[in-house]
Amino acid sequence: MLEAKDPVVLDDAGRYDRDIVHLARVAMAGRSQDVQTLLQRMARRYQATNSSLAESLRELLRSAPSLDAPMRSHGNALPLPLDGDTRLPLIRADQLGPAQSPVLVDPVRGQLDQLREEHLNRERLARSGLMPSRSALFVGPPGVGKTLAARWIAAELRRPLLVLDLSSVMSSYLGRTGSNIRKVLDYAKSSPSVLLLDELDTVAKRRDDSAEVGELKRLVTVLLQEIDDWPASSLLLAATNHAELLDPAVWRRFDQVVDFPLPGPVQLREALIQYCGVDGSREVIDFLVKTLQGASFADAERLVLGARRRAALKDEKLFDVLLDLGRQRLREMEAPRRIQIALDLIEECSISQRRASEITGVSRDTIRRRLER
């Protein structure tokens, strides 16, 4: 117990007493992550008035044994939370392991690197009175890498990735949906983890939508409160394909908003090379990039996986199959677009007129006339 001469007691007794009561309350409730968060705040708060106490608290946090992941395979593992109606697990727990670095545009890559660095350098932030970002919202169309990015961050932080598909927790009894969400969030808070709330728009819809019933509107309020109370020891991620459906208050609750656009030619080329996994024809890759313009990473991966299966079954060369599939996509396009792709291969990719004609099926006479204009 601190003696009366302690400067914290003398200068700020009321605040110190409140902190002790608050610390005792969360400790008795078994909320270990909240205990750590409170100790971090106390260390920052008392730095100016009692630096030795602040440093002792920081040393305690540094030396404390780290908590195992929620789905740890040894010791007293906690069971996954279950839906009260179906008794099925409410979340999917991805085992910790290496994850391939996602192909991303530079602004998105910069934001994800920032998230990673903040959580890997918590002590450096603490010395400046700061905490890492607690939450981030991933926005973008399907297939642009939102889930893959969450998996990569979890692997980089060496934490489990807990995935909650919000559409799956919608109970037939609406009153239980809020209970389901609380179960998952409490479980994720129990030890350091990365929680991904997928399809956030399923629950966090605009509260001024007259088509939504009152219970769903109350769910939005529950979710906002949980995001506000999220501990900095874990990372809360949310993903949506329909940003326009989100309640305006949701945007303000997240520390970061990461906008995932459809990939451009540079990202598509990098992704195709990654998906193919072998050295191959550069001109085929260039051709596929042109035919996949406006497609997502998922579309490109689906094309390559289909080609690999066909090549294995028919004993064909992968890039011959990819070339054939690219031609099939090209035949579905209007003539002006097909001609433009042939011209782009010549002008941007240094492919000869003859080879461009062979790849695209556009006649050499047509290509020559367009080039002479």
- Region of poorest pLDDT, from 94-108, 155-169, 178-192: 94-108
**Residue at 67: amino acid letter:** L
- Predicted local distance difference test score (pLDDT) of residue 337: 94
Nearest Cα to Cα of residue 110 among 134, 136, 129, 128 = 136
Cα separations in angstroms, 28 against 22, 32, 65, 150, 226: 10, 9, 19, 33, 20
Residue 317 — pLDDT band, cuts 50, 70, 90? very high
- Positive or negative, the CA dihedral 40, 42, 48, 49 is negative
pLDDT at 213: 55
Among the listed ranges 70-84, 168-182, 195-209, which one has the minimum average pLDDT value? 70-84
Per-domain residue ranges of the chain: 7-63, 92-259, 265-371
- Are 322 and 309 contacting, i.e. CB atoms less than 8 angstroms apart? no
Q: What is 92-259's CATH topology? A: Rossmann fold (3.40.50)
pLDDT, tens digit (0-9, with 9 covering 90-100), for 219-251: 778 788 888 888 888 899 999 999 988 888 889
Q: 112-126, 164-178, 359-373: which has the minimum mean pLDDT?
A: 164-178
Q: Calculate mean pLDDT across residues 271-295.
A: 88
The pLDDT tens digits for 89-142 are 778 877 555 567 889 999 999 999 999 999 999 889 988 888 999 999 999 999
Counting every residue, how long is the chain? 373
- DSSP string across 119-183: HHTHHHHHHTT-----EEEEE-STTSSHHHHHHHHHHHHT-PEEEEEGGGS--SSHHHHHHHHHH
269/266 Cα distance (integer angstroms):
5
How high is the pLDDT of residue 225? Answer: 84
User: Please, are residues 110 and 181 in contact by the beta-carbon 8 Å criterion?
Assistant: no
Q: pLDDT digits over 17-46, tens only?
A: 777 877 777 677 655 666 777 777 787 777
Question: Which pLDDT belongs to residue 279?
Answer: 66
